[in-house]
Amino acid sequence: MTEKTPAKEEGQYRSDNRRQELMAAAAHLFNQRGYDATSMRDIAREAGMLAGSMYYHFPSKDDLIIATYEEGRRLISNSVLVATEGVSDPWERLTLAAVAHMNTLFGGNNFSILLCADISRTSPTLRSRLIEIRDSYDNLFMDLIDDLPLPESVDKGLLRLSLLGSLNWSSSWYRPGGQSPAQIGEFFVRILKEKLV
Amino acid sequence: MTEKTPAKEEGQYRSDNRRQELMAAAAHLFNQRGYDATSMRDIAREAGMLAGSMYYHFPSKDDLIIATYEEGRRLISNSVLVATEGVSDPWERLTLAAVAHMNTLFGGNNFSILLCADISRTSPTLRSRLIEIRDSYDNLFMDLIDDLPLPESVDKGLLRLSLLGSLNWSSSWYRPGGQSPAQIGEFFVRILKEKLV
Amino acid sequence: MTEKTPAKEEGQYRSDNRRQELMAAAAHLFNQRGYDATSMRDIAREAGMLAGSMYYHFPSKDDLIIATYEEGRRLISNSVLVATEGVSDPWERLTLAAVAHMNTLFGGNNFSILLCADISRTSPTLRSRLIEIRDSYDNLFMDLIDDLPLPESVDKGLLRLSLLGSLNWSSSWYRPGGQSPAQIGEFFVRILKEKLV
Amino acid sequence: MTEKTPAKEEGQYRSDNRRQELMAAAAHLFNQRGYDATSMRDIAREAGMLAGSMYYHFPSKDDLIIATYEEGRRLISNSVLVATEGVSDPWERLTLAAVAHMNTLFGGNNFSILLCADISRTSPTLRSRLIEIRDSYDNLFMDLIDDLPLPESVDKGLLRLSLLGSLNWSSSWYRPGGQSPAQIGEFFVRILKEKLV
DNA sequence: CATGAATGAGTTTTCATTCAT
DNA sequence: GATGAATGAAAACTCATTCAT
């Protein structure tokens, strides 16, 4: 796992410290209130800094949004890849991926759940960048579903969208206390695999 | 059907004309740009009126948001009720409901799709009101799923959330041209009903 | 003279009152400190209003700049046209124009002298608009100089630029007390007309 | 000529290299965008340095402005002095001075043309310093015009202001391609000397 | 000599809302 | 019912400057 190492190989961190704190503060607030309702001042305050100081680290709010989103993608991609590594049964792979997806979403990192947020209403330039990032994650599921042994009559594209919808919509209703994220992920795959009727 | 009558029974409309135009303009813009990015001035302009004039019809922006949201719920609830009326087979009822749901979402009315929007990031007071409204719609699906003949091992609550997730997530990817909304709705129910593996 | 009438014929005034006060305040401060160093807050304060309120009358600072500049052009154009009206001797016409130019520049209206300011360092879009306006005034002098009976060896374009330079540069050194603006204007034309050596 | 020597006699340069690069970068940007619109960061970037580093060489932006302005005065003063050295006919001396003035303004050095910029709109302290510098240059023309054999009726002060206005105003309209700077300078003196009417 | 990081006051602009007419 | 005009708080962002290292 590389996400705890200095990550020099991605060349995207400068003097990691404050930048990471800023991103953590931003992700936290973006999740609580959304992009629009979170001001640069709010983020600065949460990171113990003045608003103007942030602009040394991120040239604009959009850049900060993109950075947190990309960090979210990096973390969840990693989780899914690690979880499915070395497993060959396609349904088991999909189950493990769904479980890793849910565990990452609700496992304490504030970044990945940003990928479930509504981005259809941000500025066109920002939106297209975020969509790119999200698509690069969705592709992992495309591959997992492609490997499934399914009757020809099943549209694999729609199947993927159905599963991702089930999984991501959880961000709008999940609260700790009931079933665990892992159980929920496992269930959403099981009802596709098993005969219900 | 009640949606064309003056709706006196809800006691909340004054001199319907301008009010309805305002709501239509608002719903249109809310869908395009989201709540935050839509200003009262934008809405007023689209309705051929000045910003100040709106406050005769709606005491605040939140009230306008709630009104459009509630109108969306009213329309989609109606569609689902009408579609399932008189049908008794539980799987068929669920399929018809999903189809009606999708047809209403993408069938030209700008209100219902607002129910798929991310409200987890609005002010707490507004949010709790919107959640109430959405829940009162989700209950329809609760009933439909309760009627399904399912093994005890299947958690009906999660099943409902899975289906609603699949259906509502479509608002983030659906574009006209591929499968029709009705086909998509039918498919999402079918993969629950049929054995895939 | 039309500049004191409601000016309906130019169609550019709304409810003249506050708009004119705003323009007067702006012109005053633009002259004292320049465009950049004058903030919208400064202008608002001088007009007895809050910064945000100005945006009802002018959509942006650039628009306000353009409006004051255009008002300056209107006033000085009028002065020159009125002064030369009915006079036919070309040198006398030029003298009267120079005198009117100087009298308008230093005669209490804060608008016209803006045309002497350095605009080579504003944003390209703003600059090109201001240049258009200034050129439309300079054309008056083009005509006056064209009518002069001069030897072929004299470049009329350069002659115009020389005179306008002499006149406009006065905005950087003129202080009341010495020669009057009218005397200065008359002198600058006389040294072109008379043999000095 | 002293401009190539280390200039110890002015006692104001430290380790000339970086200082000169900084001044060149500043002069370049001041001409393109003006003082206000040029930030210390812009200048630093153009000189390949970070903003903070400049403060070793110049204690403030105003000091940097003054230094470039003074350098512009030094260069153009030199040109005029060299051009008129050894010539005794007063009108020829004035002509040569005007030609040298124009050649220096548009001859590639970015400093001297700063003297033509609008300084009537900078902070009072800065302004008074810049005026001092400019006046010390204008005095050269005062002397040249004093030597002219003119009728008593001609106000020599105004004559100087007229000529300097014609010359300096060129900074607002001159573009390479038409008459050369030298031809323009010669023309502006000729129309004073010769009878036009 | 230079850098990285921060400061704090400032900028233009936007916006929900109010209210006299 | 609607308008014109204003309010005041907040937004994103900029910038000259400072200073420890």
Q: What does C69-93 look like in DSSP terms, one character per residue?
A: HHHHHHHHHHHHHHHHTT---HHHH
Could you give the C-alpha distances from C102 to A64, C71, C113, C181, D117, in angstroms and in order?
Answer: 55, 17, 9, 5, 21
| Residue for token pair 């009705």 | B182
Rg, chain A, Cα only: 18
Whether the Cβ atoms of residue A64 and residue A44 lie closer than 8 Å to each other: no
Q: Which of the other chains make 3 or more beta carbon contacts under 8 angstroms with chain C?
A: D
C187 contacts in chain D (CB < 8 Å)? 155, 158, 162
Give the amino acid at C196: L
Residue of C153, C169, C172 whose CA lies nearest to C161 = C169
C52 CA, E19 C1': separation in Å?
17
By the 8 A CB rule, do D195 and C194 touch? yes
What are the residue ranges in chain D where pLDDT is below 50? Answer: 1-14
Nearest by CB to C121, from D34, D123, D194: name it.
D34
Measured distance CA(B86)–CA(B92) in Å, rounded: 11
In angstroms, what separates the C-alpha of B5 from chain A's closest C-alpha?
A: 33
Calculated CA dihedral for residues A93, A99, A101, A103, nearest 10 degrees:
-150
Does the nearest atom of strand F lie within 7 Å of B18's Cβ?
A: yes
- Give the pLDDT mean for C114-132: 91
Chain B residues 26 to 65 with C-beta below 7 Å from nucleic strand E: 37-41, 51-52, 55, 59-62
Q: Which of D91, D158, D191 is nearest residue C162 as measured by Cβ atoms? A: D191
Cβ–Cβ under 8 Å, residues C122 and D151? no
Distance CA(A18)–CA(A7), nearest Å, equals 16
- Confidence at residue B7, expressed as pLDDT on a 0 to 100 scale: 40
For the CA of A19 and the C1' of F12, the distance in angstroms is 19
Residue position matching structure tokens 């680290």: A57
Measured CB to CB, residues of chain C less than 8 Å from chain D are: 32-34, 36-37, 91, 117-118, 120-122, 149-151, 154-155, 158-159, 161-173, 179, 184, 187-188, 191-197
Chain A hits for B197, CB-CB cut-off 8 Å, are: 91, 149, 193-194
* Cα–Cα dist A43/B91, whole Å: 49
> Which residue among C32, C165, C170 sits closest to D170, beta carbon to beta carbon?
C165
Rounded to whole angstroms, the Cα distance separating A15 from A48 reads 17
Contact in structure between D97 and D140 (CB atoms under 8 Å): yes
The whole-chain average pLDDT of chain A stands at 90
A108 pLDDT higher than 80: no
Asked if C15 CB < 7 A from strand F, the reply is yes
Does residue B115 fall inside a structural domain?
yes
Total Cβ atoms within 10 A of residue A11? 7
A34 is a domain residue: no
Please tell me which chains touch D, using 3 or more CB pairs under 8 Å as the contact test. Answer: C
How many Å from the CA of D39 to C1' of F15?
Answer: 7
Determine, yes or no, domain membership for C184.
yes
Give the pair of three-digit tokens for residue A45: 């305050």
Residue C129 located in a structural domain: yes
For the segment B31-62, what is each residue's pLDDT rounded down to a tens digit? 999 999 999 999 999 999 999 999 999 999 99
Q: Which two tokens stand for residue B55?
A: 């406050």
CA distance A4 to A74: 12
pLDDT value of position A173: 93
The boundaries of the domain holding residue A170 are 62-196
Using the predicted structure, report yes or no on whether residue C177 has a pLDDT greater than 50.
yes
Residues counted in chain D: 197
Are D and C touching by the rule of 3+ CB pairs within 8 Å?
yes
142-181 on B, CB < 7 Å from strand F:
none
What is the value of pTM for the model shown? Answer: 0.88
Helical axes D90-105 vs D181-193, angle rounded to 10°: 150
Q: In degrees, to the nearest 5, what angle opens at C-alpha C89 toward C-alphas C85 and C92?
A: 80
Average pLDDT over residues C148-172: 94
b/e map of C84-110 (b: 16 or more CB within 10 Å)?
beeeeebbebbbbbbbbbbbbbbeebb
Using CA atoms, how far apart are residues A114 and A35, in angstroms rounded to an integer? 10
| Nearest residue in chain A measured CA to CA from B115 | A172
Does at least one atom of strand F sit less than 7 Å from the CB of D61? yes
Distance D19 CA to F19 C1' (A): 21
Neighbouring residues of A83: CB distance < 8 A, sequence distance ≥ 6:
A96, A97, A99, A100
Looking at residue B196, what is its pLDDT? 60
Residue B36 lies in a domain: no
pLDDT band at B11 (very low <50, low <70, confident <90, very high): very low
D100: closest CA among D119, D79, D114, D85?
D79
CATH code, D182: 1.10.357.10
Task: Report which of B96, B6, B19 is spatially closest to residue B56, judged by C-alpha positions.
Answer: B19
pLDDT for residue A111 is more than 50: yes
Strand E and C34 CB separated by under 7 Å: no
Rounded to the nearest 10 degrees, the angle between the axes of helix B156-169 and helix B90-105 is 30
The pLDDT mean for chain B works out to 90
Residue C7 pLDDT: 37
Q: How close does chain C come to D126, measured CA to CA in Å? A: 13
Could you give the number of structural domains in chain A?
1
Which residue would you say has higher pLDDT here, B73 or A11?
B73
Residues 6 or more apart from B1 whose CB is under 8 A from it? B78, B82
Closest-CA residue to C28 (of C42, C14, C49, C11): C42
Residue count (chain C): 197
* Alpha-carbon span A44 to A52, nearest angstrom: 8
In which residue are the tokens 């800094």 written? A49
F7 C1' to C56 CA distance, Å = 12
The span from the CA of B72 to the CA of B66, in Å, is: 10
Structure tokens at D29: 């940007």
Structure token digits, residue B18? 């301008």
Q: How far is CA B197 from the centre of its chain?
A: 33
d(CA D8, CA B131) in angstroms, rounded, equals 78
Tens digit of each residue's pLDDT (9 = 90 or more) over C23-82: 999 999 999 999 999 999 999 999 999 999 999 999 999 999 999 999 999 999 999 999
Residues (51-110, chain A) with CB within 7 Å of strand E atoms: 51-53, 56-57
Pick C33's closest partner by Cβ from D121, D171, D196: D121
CB-CB under 8 Å, A191 with B121: no
Can you say how many angstroms the Cα of residue D51 is from the centroid of all Cα atoms in its chain?
27
pLDDT at residue C153 above 90?
no
Q: Are B103 and B80 within 8 A, CB to CB?
A: no
Q: What is the DSSP letter of B9?
A: G
Q: Is residue D48 part of a domain?
A: no
pLDDT tens-place string over residues A3-47: 333 433 333 334 568 899 999 999 999 999 999 999 999 999 999
Check if residue C123 sits with its Cβ under 7 angstroms from strand F: no
The pLDDT, as a whole number, for residue D3 is 41
Closest nucleotide to B55, Cα to C1': E17
Backbone angles phi, psi at A86, to 5 degrees: 80, -5
DSSP state string for A34-66: HHHH--HHHHHHHTTS-HHHHHHH-SSHHHHHH
| Residue that wins the pLDDT comparison between A99 and A121 | A99
pLDDT at A144: 97
Residue A94 within a domain: yes
Q: Report which DSSP code applies to C52.
A: H
Chains in touch with A (3+ beta-carbon pairs under 8 Å) read B
Question: Is residue C158 assigned to a domain?
Answer: yes
CA distance A167 to B142: 19
Q: What is the pLDDT of residues D105-148, one digit of tens each?
A: 999 799 999 999 988 878 889 999 999 999 999 999 999 999 99
Asked if the Cβ–Cβ distance from A173 to B155 is below 8 Å, we say no
| Mean pLDDT of the A110-131 span | 92
